[in-house]
Structure 1
């Protein structure tokens, strides 16, 4: 199995994809970088494949891994999530209109995309904090209390979406999408942008 890290061949040997990724991760960590993209035999590897024992236990001809500087990666990820939320606001409005007009299939398709964007936004915050060792509760934001509040409100909003869907409360679902989640999207856009700016302004501590 040939392993390439940022187009540089590694000398480490690996019998499985999991071994190859582990070897590359160690090499990346030694250079204070993180793996952000994996391709096996020319095919991109999705996050879901990392939990697939059959895929991870397989052997491939070639594994290519791309790395990034952690702070730059987290900053871009959060900026992308904030931008995606702007599109999600339009999608939320469309989903509400679909449900109001009785077009449930179109509504569920839009709703699925909306939920995916919200999940990605939450993951970008959680994973970014974990990757950089950030204490989100101690971050110097303009209004520090808004971060835990925004997380709680997102959890409550998505729970309400689930309740409305299960109870087939389409009017209630429309209200949540048009008002609650719309206001929350605007709030999260601001917060993600502020956290990204904080990450960009904080230097990486020197290696001991």
Structure 2
């Protein structure tokens, strides 16, 4: 059985947000909040008749209005008018409603709103799964490119090592030949020097 919906309200960034949801947790998930705004005092359950009516007409849908304004909540909202704020003129704001009773909603309307909320939640979940699948596909593609680049690097490293080893071996052989030539020459020089001395004597 679908749970009874309540209206929750908060402010995030440039917008005031409102939603009809069965719980604070569901509202936080729909808002995409990374922390518990209710515990922080940044969100609350609303009994403003206009806000309740707007959210109950679109249960599960996050409705917006420019932050700090008293306009109507809707799926799309313009940004706040920053020119008035920049020029120092303060907009007249309607005082917060006091003592409003929560509007009466029939059981049939409540059931209908709860069913619509569940449909909206399923739609959001399907959208999240689709986005996650796209991200996973992108991650797999990136991992494949990284693996290919890594394999290319390792192959180039192996080729370098082989060439370097061959050059080191050639250098060692050349150094050995140079040493042998130096030793041969030293013996030959001593022999010729001895012959030269004998000639002089």
TM-score normalised to structure 2 length: 0.25
Which of the two has higher C-alpha Rg?
2
TM-score normalised to structure 1 length: 0.24
Higher RCO (CA 8 Å, separation ≥ 6 residues): 1
